[in-house]
């Protein structure tokens, strides 16, 4: 099984109650949260996996900025 590596710009927005909202300017559907900076990579990886599965299920191509 081949694994794809994505390099994406991420925006971490601190939240007043703590933690971060994470978005990606080139993939608008990529939105997740993390309580700490240490959790960001794992949460983003989970969000990407879910988005890739959803795109494949819908027969929708990935955003051109990713390919």
> Tens digit of pLDDT for each residue in 30-55?
999 999 999 999 999 999 999 999 99
Partners of 22 in beta bridges: 12, 32
pLDDT of residue 18: 96
Partners of 21 in beta bridges: 13, 33
Do the domain assignments include residue 49?
A: yes
pLDDT of residue 67: 66
Quote the percentage of the chain above a pLDDT of 90: 81
Question: Contact at 8 Å (CB) between 32 and 43?
Answer: yes
Do the domain assignments include residue 33?
A: yes
Do the domain assignments include residue 31?
A: yes
- Give the whole-angstrom CA distance, residue 39 versus residue 53: 22
Distances (CA, A) of 17 to 10, 25, 31, 35: 20, 24, 18, 10
pLDDT of residue 21: 98
- The total domain count for the chain is 1
Do the domain assignments include residue 67?
A: no
Do the domain assignments include residue 35?
A: yes
Enclosing domain of residue 40: 11-62
Least confident of 14-18, 38-42, 61-65: 61-65
């Amino acid at each position: 099984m081949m694994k794809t590596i994505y390099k994406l710009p991420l925006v971490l927005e601190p939240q007043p109650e703590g933690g971060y909202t994470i978005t990606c300017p080139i993939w608008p559907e990529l939105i997740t949260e993390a309580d700490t900076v240490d959790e960001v990579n794992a949460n983003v990886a989970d969000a990407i996996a879910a988005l890739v599965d959803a795109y494949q299920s819908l027969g929708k191509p990935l955003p051109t900025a990713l390919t």
